[in-house]
A and B are shown apart, each in its own frame.
Chain A
Amino acid sequence: MTEKKIRVLVAKPGLDGHDRGAKVVARALRDAGMEVIYTGLRQTPEMIAEAALQEDVDAVGLSILSGAHMALAPRIIQLLRSNGQEQVKIFLGGIIPDEDVPALKAMGITGIYGPGTSTQDIVRDVRSAILGVSED
């Protein structure tokens, strides 16, 4: 049996076009041995949920620099749940004001990362969130 690979969806929902951060994180996850399904810009919540399902991912990483996270995140979470993927861990990066963090965490987002976050912290968090929980 081949070793289990962690599969992560990295997506940019909404209309913001700044994808450098998302690409940096995607490469860091790859360098940590994970399989990153990179979907690119201008993803709707429906497209993200559809990709998460088809690719049977362990985690979804959202990059939002437009400020629209309080509208986008709940919708994506709701779609993942209704697709039967409530166990998928969600990580959010971008421009997230501190005052929004408690609400986002309460929604079920595992990790929230602002500018300047070390990619190694993200890698560590993704790994522990996925491997720490599932015991095969």
Chain B
Amino acid sequence: MMSLVKDLLGGNRLALARLLTQVENDTPDGRAALNELFSHTGRAHLVGVTGAPGVGKSSLVNQLALHIRKKTKKTIAIIAVDPTSPFTGGAVLGDRVRMRDLSGDGGVFIRSMASRGTLGGLAHATAALAQVFDAAGFDMVLIETVGAGQAEVDIARLAHTTLVVEAPGMGDDIQAIKAGILEIADILVINKADLPGLEHTERALRGMLELSHPIRHVFQHHGRSEVIEPSSGNVEINETLWEPPIQKTIASSGSGIPELADSIGAHVLYLDRSGDRDRRERSRLETELEALIQDTLAEQFRSSLPGELFEQAITGMLERRLSPWEAVKSLMNGRQH
């Protein structure tokens, strides 16, 4: 495994691809590699792109990456997540179809991931893949997932900047609002902005923003901080807050893409200047540590339990002799004998 890590750090793309597979499958080699690579992480800018199917996320990611590559030469890794069929365990991962413009560019790496049916596991696997790309030296990691649900919220926590993408005319109500993922957005994107219903969508989103971010006393406006009278006394005036902008794009033509890229850049600046980046990173690492502790302890506990004890506990619950909490207690006591 050492050699795969060494090759990856030396820029070998096949080693990178193979390591991504190991990490995605959570193999012992994969875990060992993550340990070795962790000290090399922390540099890449992670951008999450989420939204309902059909809003044009892949096309948007394609155009965004093209623009950023042309303008800044930053290297970009793209993780495109698609759902696994719960019935067959298989998946058709078709996001690359929309990203053909990026082929042949040595500064871009596209990896398709299937959700593989375990919600918590998806965020963990995505975080692990992002770490590998980060350690490999990519400047930016774009993570594209289907909204919405807890998994997508978890992935949003992993990203430094989260884009929530909408499109006009996708029904009477806005998908993101229904799904409740509007709160996680750092930037709202209305793609397919040439479709009818744009104004309605924009008004509805602005309305929901008012509800999600009610305390706005200082916000970024053209790169300067502007102060509004604070409504309550216990909010610090000097602290800068980020008001999620609404960007309108037409990914199929590239319209609005430069402005969106600038918006992402502005968010990076805000994160650094406000100290929010460190706060979010700290919170993210705390969440990851908690999850790993839980998983590890649960795994250890479960594997140390004799099989029949577990079955007896279930039977006890089925026959209503034991409540679930009593069952847990009896299992934990049983372990000590």
Show the binding face of A for B, using Cβ within 8 Å. Answer: 1-2, 4-5, 7, 26-27, 29-40, 42, 46-47, 50-51, 53-56, 83-85
Please give, as numbers and ranges, the residues of chain B lying within 8 Å of A27 by CB-CB distance.
92
Pairwise interchain contact B25-A30, C-beta atoms closer than 8 A: no
Binary interface profile of B, 75-112, with partner A (CB < 8 Å = 1, else 0)? 00000000011001111111011001001100001111
* Distance in angstroms between the alpha carbons of A46 and B103 in the assembled complex: 9
Using CB atoms, name the residue of chain B closest to A28.
B90
Please give, as numbers and ranges, the residues of chain A lying within 8 Å of B25 by CB-CB distance.
1-2, 4-5
Please give, as numbers and ranges, the residues of chain A lying within 8 Å of B20 by CB-CB distance.
56
**B14 within 8 Å of A by Cβ?**
yes
Please give, as numbers and ranges, the residues of chain A lying within 8 Å of B88 by CB-CB distance.
30-33
- Count residues on chain B whose CB falls below 8 Å from chain A CBs: 32
A39-B92 CB under 8 A given contacts A1-B25, A55-B111: no
**B28 within 8 Å of A by Cβ?**
yes
Pairwise interchain contact B92-A1, C-beta atoms closer than 8 A: no
Using CB atoms, name the residue of chain A closest to B80.
A37
* Distance in angstroms between the alpha carbons of A35 and B96 in the assembled complex: 14
Pairwise interchain contact B116-A2, C-beta atoms closer than 8 A: yes
Pairwise interchain contact B92-A38, C-beta atoms closer than 8 A: yes
Pairwise interchain contact B112-A55, C-beta atoms closer than 8 A: yes
**B243 within 8 Å of A by Cβ?**
no
Please give, as numbers and ranges, the residues of chain A lying within 8 Å of B109 by CB-CB distance.
54
* Distance in angstroms between the alpha carbons of A41 and B109 in the assembled complex: 20
* Distance in angstroms between the alpha carbons of A96 and B260 in the assembled complex: 47
Pairwise interchain contact A50-B18, C-beta atoms closer than 8 A: no
Using CB atoms, name the residue of chain B closest to A39.
B96
Pairwise interchain contact A35-B94, C-beta atoms closer than 8 A: no
Please give, as numbers and ranges, the residues of chain A lying within 8 Å of B114 by CB-CB distance.
5, 35
Pairwise interchain contact B90-A34, C-beta atoms closer than 8 A: yes
**B27 within 8 Å of A by Cβ?**
yes
